[in-house]
Structure 1
């Protein structure tokens, strides 16, 4: 079995309030890029996880990894030997671990089917995991686990460039640094309209913690996208373009000016 853990981006992320339980009520528009980590699985006597790839060294405890937890959360017959190629940066606002878990759910779905309560099992692993199981555009509310799929995807195939300055940004401190000002609900409309009219309320607190994010956004905006924004709690930022040629030129310009930054070019699913 083989599956891609598609990179998640937040086209818009509106934080509405801090709840008494310490979590936050938010409204977000999830979208997914056609590339990401790669997982494969074969039958084995017991479950196991092997990691490799550029960012595999950033996973502190492979056996406590969310992939192993996803395997434990789902009935999947005999053991699986899972190999994870970690191609997405960690603590980067791309839902990397959640995307990996989502890929496991899809592999289980294809081989054994998912239990009726798969959504609750996914949400218990992380707020982004249910959306990453779907890996299709959807609106998330509550803590991000309450999902509504988007009827018309007018950004399917849109060229997108992801850029990360290789600076990990843990989610908790960014949410804690949010100023608790409710700047209003996420707009309605098509994906493109929501993206253009929306915002990311975590951008300012993330930049305060990791100032180089502002440099990434400036560099992306100078390449002429129709939208450039930070994803999630950072530090990855994305830019959307109207053509493949514009994307290619932007990727080359960023690579030349900032050779140390990580980047991935692709299309929105």
Structure 2
């Protein structure tokens, strides 16, 4: 029997960078959120692990046999293999946690088939800073490198989301390197809405310096009168939130007509 999981697109509704650590990573505070859309993984029992990658962005994976899906498959103890088909629907190097979301979906697939070991969080952390949050794909505050998760009052569930990417890959490393090193204050406290409204993305300015079309995307989204809009993660994807799906869909149509070359995805916050 096949197991199907969505690798939910990850958003950073706020992302405050505290400083560079001695180990090369950055200490940060972030509000993780997840969209009810993303990549799709279908897994079937097999003698050995196999991965087949399809979808619009499948060719963007440099080596599909050494990506986070395969690494996640080998990170967990189980009996037998899995034949996994990954439908890559979200852009690579886009600030949506694509590879981490795929790995999180693998963890949930293995949980259904075999269960997860007690140390699954540590195993996820070794795969990447965003992977632990992507396993459950639930709104949370992340601290440290993003792996220290805290629950939050999710009063944003069901909000309509529009994701827009200028179809320009933007690797995370250069954006963090371009950050000016200034700490601009802690993440706000309160409910998710209060944190999102009072927060910021400290990586937006360095990302725009490297990829100027991000500013065009944000300007276009702001013109649709959203509840809020911001760049996610290290970019280049930006998001706009709306109180209703109708408002979101009107905005999506306007942008599709004015900027048909941009990638879009619509959904709701989980």
With the shorter chain as reference, the TM-score category is over 0.9
The whole-number CA distance in structure 1 between the counterparts of 2:6 and 2:58 is 16
Are residues 1:262 and 2:257 paired?
A: no
Q: What's 1:218 paired with?
A: 219
Who is 1:34 aligned against?
Answer: 36
- Aligned partner of residue 264 in structure 1, secondary structure: strand
- Residue 227 of structure 1 deviates from its aligned partner by 0.3
Q: Does 1:135 align with 2:163?
A: no
Distance across 2 between alignment mates of 1:160 and 1:83 = 26
CA distance in 1 between counterparts of 2:62 and 2:19 reads: 32
Residue by residue over 1:165-186, the C-alpha shift from the partner in whole angstroms, topping out at 9 and shown as x without a partner, is: 0000000000000000000000
Aligned to 2:115: 113
- Per-residue deviation, residues 117-142 of structure 1 (Å, max 9, x unmatched): 10111011110000000100000000
Q: Which residue of 2 aligns with 1:85?
A: 87
Instruction: Please list every run of at least 4 consecutive aligned residues from structure 1 whose deviation after the TM superposition is greater than 3 angstroms.
Output: none
Query: Size of the alignment, in residue pairs?
Result: 268
The aligned counterpart of 1:189 is 190
Q: Secondary structure at the match of 1:216?
A: helix
Residue 122 (structure 1) aligned to one of 121, 124, 128:
124
Instruction: For structure 1, list consecutive stretches of 5 or more residues without a partner in the other structure.
Output: none
Q: How does 1:124-163 map to 2 (within 5 A)?
A: 124-150=126-152, 152-163=153-164
* Counterparts of 2:78 and 2:112, CA distance in 1: 10
CA RMSD of aligned residues (A): 0.6
Residue equivalent to 2:229? 228
Paired residue secondary structure (2:226): coil
Unpaired segments of 5 or more residues in structure 2? none
Matches within 5 A, 1:163-174: 163-174=164-175
Q: What TM-score do the two structures reach when normalised by structure 2?
A: 0.98
Deviations 1:188-241 (A, max 9, x none): 011011001100000000000000000000000000001010000000000001
Aligned-pair CA distance for 1:45: 1.1
Q: When the two structures are superposed, what TM-score results if normalisation uses the length of structure 1?
A: 0.99
Q: CA-to-partner distance for each residue in 1:37-86, whole Å, 9 max, x for gaps? A: 00011111100000000000001111101100000001231111000000
